[in-house]
Structure 1
């Protein structure tokens, strides 16, 4: 499967699970499934980024700046944690999903510093 289609598939499910979660007032199953879709989006993004860097050597500076994609791996781990916590209490899992979103709002200075040179 092409990596960009893999990511687009999971992104296309976000409106459905978001609406389902809202209609059911953050019950366990919709919040859990929301986390699964977010997790799969993160995994698909990671696969897409790695395949782009492998096929486009002219982006070596960007690939070097991103490095091991610490934020990406932390996101995946937190989504897994959020899925597990949502089975205990849906708002715990949803809180983890919000933390991941906030984490991505903070710009990554490594990329800017590497690409300026």
Structure 2
């Protein structure tokens, strides 16, 4: 099977997730800057989650363009990833509404951790479908960022109970780490 239907479905789900997140932003009861102040934690969390969804969308796009095979395992691995990403609006609202308290910050980290693990599963299911001389294998030789991200999410989730500020700083650091796509991936995809 080709990847276009899988990519279109995933794009639609991610668009719905973003829509759900933005609908969770409440309109303030006032028209002053002071009336916006209570919404700041929710808005900051929304921005971080929006960036994360953008990162997943961008990297999913590259992953599908580098791939030339989709089978049942890939479809289920992709659904597994989308499941965890679909929980991001809940975790975003929970953390923002509770002003970065320990448990909501840990839950947010747990969702990011599980999405990272799901990404790894999708990646390895796809990798098993491609020989060493394919665009996919050439584009994805190094996966250190994925391993490091998973470890950082796990650490940040645990740290949430001691210092939510440090945990959130780690979540932001990982987002910055992934914000700029890997140029080697783009070069290998364009070269083919």
TM-score by length of 1: 0.88
Return 26-35 or 68-77, whichever deviates more.
68-77
- Unaligned runs of at least 5 residues, structure 2: 1-72
Give the conservation status (yes or no) of the 8 Å contact 1:3–1:51: yes
> Which 5+ residue runs of structure 1 have no aligned equivalent?
none
**What is the correspondence of 1:1-117 to structure 2 with a 5 Å cutoff?**
2-57=76-131, 60-115=134-189, 116=191
8 A contact 1:10–1:40 mirrored in 2? yes
| 1:18-51: CA deviation from partner (whole Å, max 9, x where unpaired) | 0010110100000001000000001101111111
Task: Tell me if the contact between 1:83 and 1:93 (Cα under 8 Å) persists in the aligned partners.
Answer: yes
Higher helix residue share: 1
8 Å Cα contact 2:132-2:138 kept in structure 1: no
Aligned counterparts of 2:107 and 2:180: Cα–Cα separation in 1: 26
Cα distance in structure 1, aligned partners of 2:95 and 2:81: 21
CA contact (8 A) 1:53 1:60 kept: no
Q: Is the 8 A contact 2:109 2:153 kept in 1?
A: yes
Residue correspondences, number: 117
* C-alpha distance after superposition, 1:38-71 (max 9, x if no partner): 0000110111111122225598222232124111
1-structure distance, mates of 2:133, 2:95: 39
1:80-104 CA-to-partner distances (Å, cap 9, x unmatched) read 1211221111111011000000000
